[in-house]
Amino acid sequence: MVKFNIIELENEISIDEYMEKYNDVEKFLGYCEACPNYSKTWSCPPFDFNVEDFLKEYKNLKIIGKKIEISESENERGMEIQTDISDDKINRDIENKIGKIEADKQVGVENKAKEAKAIEKKYSEDIEIKKEMIKKELEYQKKSVLGELLELEKQDPNIRALSMGRCTECEICTRQEGKDCRNKDKMRYSIEALGGDVVGITQDLLHHEIKWSKGNEIPEYFILVGGLLSK
């Protein structure tokens, strides 16, 4: 039903330039405070350490991106993943279907309404299925990249992985229970959690625009951004 094409993106920047151009802890902390995960996971602010001091322990930051392009399967031509499943398309299909129904004098008004509702329901179910498939693919790519970076950490004590978004290792983080992280070997902070401007980084260093879903409109791609700090 849905096909994914994965493109790897990469660039490197010195910590000094990164902190000057793309890091603003105070600004992005404000965004974090508005997030429902704020103070609920160990990978999210507030932290018990100074972020700037933490970053200054390193000399360079390799930006690692994953572009996940989304397209329809060749044998699912009527199941467009992007804005083709929009209100306009739904309305056109409903109108076409109703037009055919009206040609049949045996079909009553009540049956026409049921047909229209059935079409709307089908589109709604299709898009929800696709959203779930995309969500699972994004989570798979995120964990896959972090796994690779953690392996690199084992080989070199002078590097530190930055995850693609908040940690999702546990269903409920132990921070909510007032306990220490149970997966310190896997939990890593994200660029945005440390005050990084992911939108600016993606545009300037990875040369792509970050896109988001809007209602039933799913963009042609998503981008996950992580990193690797090195001394």
| pLDDT surpasses 80 at 79 | no
Amino acid at 121: K
Q: What is the pLDDT of residue 224?
A: 96
| pLDDT surpasses 80 at 92 | no
168, 1 contact by CB (below 8 A): no
Q: What is the pLDDT of residue 124?
A: 60
Q: Which residue has the tokens 């690692």?
A: 64
Range scoring the smallest mean pLDDT among 4-8, 19-23, 82-86, 166-170: 82-86
| pLDDT surpasses 50 at 82 | no
Q: What is the pLDDT of residue 206?
A: 96
pLDDT tens digits for range 104-146: 555 555 666 666 566 555 556 677 888 888 899 999 999 999 9
Distance CA 24, CA 48 (A): 17
Q: Which residue has the tokens 């974090």?
A: 32
| pLDDT surpasses 60 at 230 | yes
Average pLDDT of the chain is: 83
The whole model's pTM is what?
Answer: 0.75
At 213, is the pLDDT very low, low, confident or very high (cuts 50, 70, 90)? confident
SS3 179: coil
Average pLDDT (39-61) is 95
| pLDDT surpasses 60 at 76 | no
Q: What is the pLDDT of residue 45?
A: 94
